[in-house]
Amino acid sequence: MKVLVTDPISEAGMALLREAGHEVVTEFEAEGDALRSAVADANALVVRSGTEVTREVLEAAEDLVIVGRAGIGVDNIDVDAATDAGVVVANAPEGNVRAAAEHTVAMTFATARSIPQAHDRLTGGEWAKGAFLGTELKGKTLGVVGLGRVGQEVAKKLDSLGMEPVAYDPYISEERADQLGAELADLEAVLDRADVLTIHTPLTPETEDLIGEAELAAMAGGYLVNCARGGIVDEAALAAAVADGVLEGAAVDVFGEEPLPTDSPLLDVEDVVVTPHLGAATAAAQENVATSTARQVVAAFRGEPVANALNAPSIDESAFPRVEPYVHLAETAGNIAVQLVDSRLESVEVVYEGDIAEEDVDLVTASALKGVFRPLEWQVNAVNAPRIAEERGIGVSETKRRRAEDFQSLVTVTVSDGETDVGVCGTLYADDDARIVRIDGYRVDAIPGGRMMLTRNTDEPGVIGLIGSVMGAHDVNIAAMFNARETIGGEALTVYNVDQEVPEAALGELEADDRIIETKYVSLNG
């Protein structure tokens, strides 16, 4: 597989990819047409914040499996476009958490004690001991906007130094905030109470310009630290607030435009400390994010769950061996079920019974949807299958039951056109031997795979012989047969594994016989 790396990453990450047998190509200057050309035959794209992964870039990369972001933020990646294309987007959220948190703490002390300003005066020959009166942080209120991984780490570090954390984060529970020793409050209250406000949210439409002139005025007398993302804080308003004495100072590591333009108002205010996006700039952090990203690329190539996928189901590494066999089983069941329905789909239901119901099955459900949509000739995989269902207005439901009748575990995929439901149920025997054990209510014991023909017929002598004769006349070899019936002399359903495609003429010849109720040819080969 070809891995294209368009931003510098640690050699440790690239070495891991090479050791896994993949070709690594670096194109650090590529953009525009050059980038689209470089990515055209790539199977993975690894970036940092410098490369803009747009819809046009993704459309140029027909063989792309994954975009790996060696870091946390993915605002430079069009995640929606990647999902539409069935491309996994994964980041490395843990690799630089400590580095980013430590830089935030350092910037907090730097602005509160005017360390860079004092350094500049002293190296300039001025002993300005009386010019700087710092602020002690012990006993002060720390306002945290965004209590994610970095925000949590910052809150813990500064809490241990005597600050009192109060946080705004609408996506975290009060219980979790209590565990971290932080009080949850709305943004207005946090701004009003914070002596130091530190930002730790991604840049989204909701957080863009979150902190503007009014918000800065609300925290009069305090300090602001932003080591998260540029664009969250109005930079011109921040510069004015510090220059006018509304705020005591600020420390900023990230900017709306990078590199920071030389005419930025932030550069004209002495009490604003600026650094050139150094939050993750430690040797350990760079190696961590590179190797984490590389491992996720390798997992994606192997068809394994990607630990930090942002647009695809993921699963804990330790649980994957228990779930993995059901991924293909669910896809196969969905694939068979949809080929037994003649009209437009309205809903898909996936039911888990027995031991499998105790597991995290998001990946299995996505695979079932992949199986449902694949015969419809859509470009589909476990990444975009849920999106396709939503866009097509197809309802998806998931049910779990602790007990499974007669089996240790069962997975049933039922598709419906609003009037007719068709369910296909599968299980695993010893050594992960997959079996289809129920089709549309009929108990069978069929081996899923390759080409299959299903017939519904009256249960009477000579019918199976007729089917065998017709198949033989059309040069279709029957490899295996699995028969089920409701009652003696009632209706029967038979599953045939066949070695060749069953021609329409053969199906028509069978259905011309009054004893044959219905025939369906099912291909699991794509």
Active site (catalytic) residues: 229, 258, 277
**What are φ and ψ of residue 309, in 5° steps?**
-65, 135
**With contact defined as beta carbons under 8 Å apart, do 92 and 308 qualify?**
yes
How far apart are the two ends of the chain, measured CA to CA in Å? 22
**What is the helix, strand, coil percentage profile of the chain, to 5?**
35, 25, 40
d(CA 57, CA 329): 34
Q: In what order do the strands lie in the sheet with 409-416?
A: 395-401, 347-354, 409-416, 421-429, 433-439, 442-446
H helix or E strand, kind and range, residue 158:
helix 149-160
**436: nearest Cα among 328, 343, 304, 518:** 328
Pairing status of strand 223-226 against strand 141-145: unpaired
Give the DSSP letter string of 292-352.
HHHHHHHHHHTTPPPTTBSSS----TTTHHHHHHHHHHHHHHHHHHHHT--S---EEEEEE
d(CA 418, CA 341): 11
**525: nearest Cα among 507, 499, 504:** 499
In the block, residue with structure tokens 């994957």: 320
d(CA 425, CA 417): 18
d(CA 445, CA 351): 19
**What are φ and ψ of residue 328, in 5° steps?**
-70, -35
3-state secondary structure 387-455: HHHHHCCCEEEEEEECCCCCCCEEEEEEEECCCCEEEEEEEEEHHHEEEEEEECCEEEEECCCCEEEEE
> What angle do helix axes 463-473 and 504-511 make, rounded to 10 degrees?
150
**DSSP tag of 64:** -
d(CA 143, CA 199): 8
Token duo for residue 328: 């293909």
Give residue 313's identity as a one-letter amino acid code.
Answer: P
